[in-house]
Amino acid sequence: MGRQLADLIKKITKLSKKYEFTLDSEETLNQKGDVEFIMGLEGNVDPNKVKTTLENLAADVGYVTYVGMTGLLVCKTDKQTYERVFQTQLEHDQKKQGLSKYTKAGYLELKPATIPDELREELYSVHLNRLRK
């Protein structure tokens, strides 16, 4: 029983490995655009590695928050950058801000985002942030 508990603690510790990750200031985020999106990181992927790769694809991305236990990285950018990097198309409708499938800023993904080849091994998902704060 003691050995099984020790193994379980090791696994949990490995899964919950924390990384130092610097988020952008509110001022910086306000300059990045109003498209907020969430990337799901595979396993124990370092968010700094994802950030470096993403910055090579698009310099104008802001980093809102990183939830280490779940491996979620929340970012902001503008509509054109999101569509280009994730090969998708967004609809923007101010009147539908915050409604069902729309984001707080009024965006709807017309087709699912595609993970770029450069991030395929690090991410399992990319989608607009429709969470309400």
Domain contains 133? no
Average pLDDT, rounded, for the chain: 87
Domain contains 40? yes
Domain contains 47? yes
For residue 3, the model assigns a pLDDT of: 63
Domain range for 18 is 2-128
Domain contains 31? yes
For residue 118, the model assigns a pLDDT of: 96
More reliable by pLDDT, 132 or 48: 48
Mind listing the pLDDT tens digit for each residue in 72-93? Answer: 999 999 999 999 999 999 999 9
Burial class of 76 by CB neighbour count within 10 A (0 to 12, 13 to 18, 19+): buried
Count of structural domains within the chain: 1
